[in-house]
Structure 1
Amino acid sequence: MERIGLIVLLLLPLLCACVPTNGQWKASDFCHFVTRPDLTPPKWNLTVYDKSALSPGYWFVAPKQASRVTLGSGEGWPGPVIYDNAGDVVWSGTAQLDSTDVNDFRLSNVGGQLVPTLYDRNRRLGLIFDDRYRIRQILEVVKKGVGEGVNAHEFKFVENGTKVLVIMDRRQRATERDKQAIGFDGDACWVEYNKLVELDVETAGVTFQFDPRGRIGLEESSVYHAGRNITNYCRAGWDFMHANSIDKSNYDGHYFFNARHTNTVYKISKDDGSIIWRLGGKQSDFDMGNVHFSRQHDIRFRGQNATHTIVSLMDNALGEDEAPPTHDFSRGLLIALNTVNMTASLVAHYDHPDRLLAQRRGNMQILDNGHVFLGWSEHAYLSEHAADGTVLLKARLVPDRIGSYRAYKFPFVGRPLTRPEVVASTSLLENRTVVHVSWNGDTQVRCWRLYKTARDGAEAQAVLQIHRRGFETRLEWSGLTDYVRVAGVDKHGESVGWSDVVKTIDHPSLLPPPRAQQMSPDDSFSQGAWPGPPRYFDNQAILGLRG
C-alpha cells in the first residue's frame, strides 16, 4: 500500500487516467479519482427542476461509443455504471469487466430477487450479479440451430425471473411468397430475420421461439434509403424488421414483439407462434385514433383484463434511414388497446425535455411511485417526469458521442465485498494529514471517520469525521500520523466498512492538487503503474464458470 500511495501522489498532476488523448474528448469530461485511477466514468450535465419531488433510487446506465468498444481496451469508462440523483458515481464495473460493451444494464427480478443484470456484447453472455457485485450466474444465450448470434437489444427476465427473453438473428433466403409480394424476380433475396427466443434461466434451454420468416412479410417494411432499390436490399441482407424489444403478458402468457423497421408491435401466441394482432404499421389491426408512432423501441406490457390491454413504448418518431419523422420530437407513450372493438387510444405521453428527436434506441420505465424515467440514448440523455408529464430532472453525458442503450432508475442497496480504498499522505512542514477514500459500489456510507493508528491497527484513535462527498472524499486533519485507517459510517452511526491500515507518505506540500478539470487533454497516465484491486471477472473466470 505504501508503494501505491507514493506512486499516486507523484502522479496527481497526470490523473487523466485511461481517457483517449486523440482530441475526441477533454480530460475534464470524465471523473478522476486518487484512490481509483483505473476508473474514469463520464460526467453529467444535470438540471434538476424539483429535487424534493424526485423518486429515490440510482441511475443504471452503460456508457458506450457508437462503435463497439474493444474488450480489454484499458479505457476507464466503458461498461456498467451506477450514478445517484446528483450524477455522482456510485459504482463502476469498468475494471471488473475489462471495459466491455454492455447493453440493458438494470435490476431484474431473478428467482424472486431484484439483482443487477446485463448483456455483455463482447463475450456474448448474459450476466447476473448479486448486491455485492459478484457474478452469481453466467447465461450462454447463443444457441446453435436457433440463431447465428444474439441481437443484443433485449435481455428481459419474465415469469418471476425463471425465464429470460432475447432476440436472435439469422440470415436466410426470403420465401417465394415474400419475393412476389415485393416484386423481386431475382434468384435469392437475403434477409435478416430476428427471432423471439425465451430461455430457461436455470438450464439456459429454449422454452419458446418465434420465427418471423413466413409470418411477417417483407412488404410490411417501411425502411427507406434514397438510391437503393429492392435488389440492393436483397443483396446486402435486408434488415427489414429490426426487432429491438420483447415482453410477455402475465395475464394470458402471450408475447409482445417490437419491430422498428415495420413500425409495428406484434402480439405473438404462446401456443402456436401465430400473430394474434398487429399494432401500428401498414397492416395494423387497430383503429389507431390519436395514436401514432414510428421507429419505436422498448415495448412493455403494463396491464390487461378481458377487454383492454395497456402497453408503453418509446416513440422515437425518426430512424437512421431516410424516412421522414412522424412527430416533431421523441416521446414515451402509454397506450390503451380495446381488444374487443380493436381501437387504440393515447393515455399519456412524456415528451423529450428539449423537444429533440432520438433517432436510435431508448426506453421508458414507469417507477413505483408513478413517475416515468426515460432513456433517450443519445449522449445517454435521461429524464424523470411526474405522472402528469412535468419534467423533474434531465441529464446528459458531458463527452460527445458517448451514449447508453437504455437508462433505468431503481432503489438499490450495494454492499461491496471489497474494502474502502485509501491513499494517505502527511506534510511535516504543514503539520497536516490528507486522506482520500472511496468504496466502489457502496450505498450505505453517509460519513467517513478517520483514525490515526499503529501499524498493527492497535490503539486506533478517531480524529476526524466528515460527510461523504460523492464517490471519493478528501479528509484533511491538522496533525501527523504514520498510519491511518478509515471507517464508513451509515445513517445509524454504525460502521459498515473498514479500510486496511495504510502507511502515510510524507510529501512536501499538501495544498489541494490540481483538479483534473484544469488539465490538458494531452496529459496521460500509465495505468500499468497502479495495478488496482483484484478483478472479480476475467476471461479465465468466464471459461471456468462456463464449463
Structure 2
Amino acid sequence: MPRRSVMATRELRVRRTRSRTRRTAGACLLVAGCVITSSVPSASASPQGGARLCATEPFPPSESTPPPILSGSDVWSFVSDPALHPMRVKVTANKPGTARGDIFVAPFSADQMVGQTGALINDNSGDPVWFRPLPSTNLQNADFKVQTYYDGRRDRGQPVLTWWQGTLALPPAYTNLPAGAPEQGGCYYIYDRHYRLLKTVFAHHGCYPDEHEFTLTRRGTALFIASKPVPMDLTPYGGPKNGAIENSEIQEVDLATGRLLFSWNALDHLDPADSEEPVSSASSSDGVWDAFHINSVDEGPDGRLLISARNMWAIYDVTKRSGRIRYQIGGRKSDFTFGPNADFYWQHDARFRPGNRISMFDDGCCDLPDGTPEQVSHGLILNLDVRSRKATVDRTYYHQPPLESPTQGNTQALSNGNEFIGWGQSPYYSEYAGAGNTQGNGLQNLLYDAKLPGSNISYRAFRNEWIGTPYYPPSTAARSDGGHSVVYASWNGSTQTRAWRVLAGSDPHSLSVVVRRAPRSGFETAITTNAPGPYFQVKALNAQGKVLGTSHVVTLSSRQSTRDTKR
C-alpha cells in the first residue's frame, strides 16, 4: 500500500499534509483476539438487534474529506434499491477465453470518491452483482475475495466472502501514520453465501489488523498481517530520536477460539538499515518510519512462508516452524542474482507457483534512488534456480497503455491458466491468456480490461466463482409512466436470478400475475405493464422457472420514472 512520499505524487493529487499527535502504539480500540459470530440483513441495511459488527465508524480524521460523487454517468443508481451507489466501470476489452467467475474489487480513493466505498462484485459486462456500501469514505475495504472456510465441523469447507474493513492512513486527512498503514479499529469479515456474517477476526499483541492480507487455511485458521508503530530511536538510521517504526507481524489465529497460534515479527528478522524507504519520510507521518511495509504472505504446501516487504524490495522464503529466513530474493542482501528483466522494485502480492516459481505484481516505478532504472508496472512470474541462486523471467503481463503504479496491485493465477491483474494505484483490472506478453506488446493475449472512474482504485482485484443466495428478499418499486406502470426489480447479490414475475392488484392481500416471465437485464430490470395496481410485487425466478425469492408488496408512485437510472 502507499507510502507517504508516493501518496504525495500527482497521481493522487495530495497537496497538503498536517502533523498530528501520534497515537500510542498500544492504545487499541479493540480487544485483541476477539472472534465474533453474528448475522446481518441486506448489505444496505443496519444490523439486526444484537449483531456485533466492527469497524463501522472511521478512525477520526484530522481534516475533512470531500464528499463522494453519488450521481452522474460514472455512478450506478437504482429505483428499487436507492441506497446503493456503486461506481460504474468502463469495460474496454471483453474477448472469448476468459475464466469463469465474476470480478471482486473494493473501491476507494485518496481524492474524491466516485460512488460509495465498499465491497463490490461486478460481472464481465461491468454490471454490479453485489454491493455492500460503507457509510463513510474514510472507511475502506480491501483484499475482497472468495475463500473456503473450514470450521472443523465439516468434512468439506464452504465458500465464503472475506475482506478487511477499517480506515487507511491516507493524507491529508491522516498523517499520524505512514500513508497506507491501517489505523486502529480495523478487522476482518467472513460472510457466507447468503450474505450473513459468520466471523469477525482481530489481531493480537496490540496490533492493528492490516488490509494487505487475510487468508483462510484448511486447518480452520486465518493467516494475516498485523501492524503497529513501535517507538524507537531512529538516529542510527538518520532519523529522529523519539521516532517509531511501523512494524508488522505475520499472525495465525484459530477461528473457533480466536487463540493466537503463530506469529513472526519483522523487527526480529529484518534490518531497517536495508530499507529503500528513506527515514526522512517519517517527518511527514508524525515520526513513524515505514521501513519494511510487509504487504503479502503466502503459505506453501510444505509449511514455508513467502513474505513480501515492499520497502525492502525483497521477498523472503521463511521456514514457518523456526521463523528462520531460508533465503532472500531481491533487496540489498539478496541471495539471488537476476537475469534480464527479472529484478523488481516496490513489489506486491508475492505467491508460490508450481515448479520453483513465484509470482508478484512488480510496481517497478516511482521514487527510485539515483541510478536505478524505472520500470513499467507489470505482472511478473519468476523461475528460481535454488541451487545456483539465480532468478529468471518466466512470464510477464504488461498493460496497453503502459501503466506506472506507484503502489498496490496483484497477479492472480486462474483455474484455466489465465492470469488476472489488479493494477493497484492505476485504475484498471485485466485478464490475460497465460502466455502473457512483453513490454511494448500490452495488447498481446489481452482478453479482458476495465477501467475504474475518476481517481478510484482497488488495492487488489480478483476473478472468483461465486454463487450468492441472499437470505433477504428482492427489492422492488413501481412508478407510473405515461399511462403505464413500470416495475423495477433487483436482488442485491443473487447470482441465480434469470427472470422476474410481476404480480399486481387493487388489494395487497390478493395479487395476480400480470407478467409471467420478464428476463433479467442487469442489476435492475424495468418491467412495463398495463396493470394499474396500485399494489405490486415481484418474484425472482431461476433458469428453470423456480421461484427463488419474493419481494415485499409496494404501492405505485405517481412520480415519473427516469428510465436511465437502471443502466
Structures share fold, TM-score greater than 0.5: yes
What secondary structure, in the 3-state scheme, does the structure 1 residue paired with 2:405 have?
Answer: coil
Q: Which residue of 2 aligns with 1:37?
A: 82
Matches within 5 A, 1:106-255: 106-111=145-150, 112-122=157-167, 123-141=185-203, 143=204, 146-159=205-218, 161-173=220-232, 179=236, 190-224=244-278, 228=280, 236-250=287-301, 252-255=302-305
Q: 323-332 or 360-369: which moved more? A: 323-332
The structural deviation recorded for 1:61 is 0.8
Q: Which residue of 1 aligns with 2:98?
A: 54
Measure, in 1, the Cα distance between the counterparts of 2:101 and 2:134: 24
Q: Which residue of 1 aligns with 2:447?
A: 392
What secondary structure, in the 3-state scheme, does the structure 2 residue paired with 1:505 have?
Answer: coil
Structure 2 contact 498–541 (Cα < 8 Å) conserved: yes
The structural deviation recorded for 1:215 is 2.6
What secondary structure, in the 3-state scheme, does the structure 2 residue paired with 1:219 have?
Answer: helix
Structure 2 contact 233–241 (Cα < 8 Å) conserved: no
The structural deviation recorded for 1:222 is 1.6
Paired residue type of 1:78: T
| Runs of 5+ unmatched residues, structure 1 | 1-19, 70-74, 519-547
Question: Which of 468, 473, 477 in structure 1 is aligned with 2:525?
Answer: 473
Q: Which has the higher contact order (CA 8 A, sep 6+)?
A: 1
The structural deviation recorded for 1:100 is 3.5
C-alpha spacing 1:204/1:374, structure 2 compared with 1 (3 Å): same
Structure 2 contact 112–455 (Cα < 8 Å) conserved: no
| Runs of 5+ unmatched residues, structure 2 | 1-64, 151-156, 168-184, 437-444
Do structure 1's residue 412 and structure 2's residue 466 form an aligned pair? Answer: yes
Measure, in 2, the Cα distance between the counterparts of 1:515 and 1:185: 56
The structural deviation recorded for 1:78 is 0.9
Q: Which residue of 1 aligns with 2:45?
A: none
The structural deviation recorded for 1:172 is 3.7
Structure 1 contact 190–234 (Cα < 8 Å) conserved: no
Deviations 1:488-529 (A, max 9, x none): 12112222122123232345xx5x6274699xxxxxxxxxxx
C-alpha spacing 1:325/1:434, structure 2 compared with 1 (3 Å): farther
Structure 1 contact 29–42 (Cα < 8 Å) conserved: yes
What secondary structure, in the 3-state scheme, does the structure 2 residue paired with 1:28 have?
Answer: coil
The structural deviation recorded for 1:96 is 8.6
Do structure 1's residue 482 and structure 2's residue 534 form an aligned pair? Answer: yes
Identity, in percent, stands at: 28
What secondary structure, in the 3-state scheme, does the structure 1 residue paired with 2:552 have?
Answer: coil
Structure 2 contact 242–287 (Cα < 8 Å) conserved: no
Paired residue type of 2:314: T
Paired residue type of 1:113: Q
Give the number of the structure whose alpha-carbon radius of gyration is greater: 1
How many residue pairs get matched?
471
Question: Which of 538, 543, 550 in structure 2 is aligned with 1:498?
Answer: 550
The structural deviation recorded for 1:76 is 6.1
Question: Which of 365, 369, 388 in structure 1 is aligned with 2:416?
Answer: 369
What secondary structure, in the 3-state scheme, does the structure 2 residue paired with 1:299 have?
Answer: strand
Q: Which residue of 2 aligns with 1:286?
A: 336
Structure 2 contact 486–527 (Cα < 8 Å) conserved: yes
Measure, in 2, the Cα distance between the counterparts of 1:185 and 1:467: 64
Q: Which residue of 2 aligns with 1:351?
A: 398
Measure, in 2, the Cα distance between the counterparts of 1:517 and 1:423: 12
Superposition RMSD in Å: 3.1
Q: Which residue of 1 aligns with 2:495?
A: 443
Detail structure 1 runs of 4+ shifted over 6 Å in the superposition.
20-26, 96-99, 231-235, 321-325
Structure 1 contact 224–323 (Cα < 8 Å) conserved: no
What TM-score, normalized by structure 1, do the two folds share?
0.78
Deviations 1:409-446 (A, max 9, x none): 1111111111111111346xx54211111111111111
The structural deviation recorded for 1:92 is 0.9
Measure, in 2, the Cα distance between the counterparts of 1:445 and 1:97: 30
Structure 2 contact 404–426 (Cα < 8 Å) conserved: no
Deviations 1:453-504 (A, max 9, x none): 4534435224353221111111011342332221212112222122123232
What TM-score, normalized by structure 2, do the two folds share?
0.76
Paired residue type of 2:449: K
Q: 351-360 or 189-198: which moved more? A: 189-198
Q: 207-216 or 359-368: which moved more? A: 207-216
Structure 2 contact 308–316 (Cα < 8 Å) conserved: yes
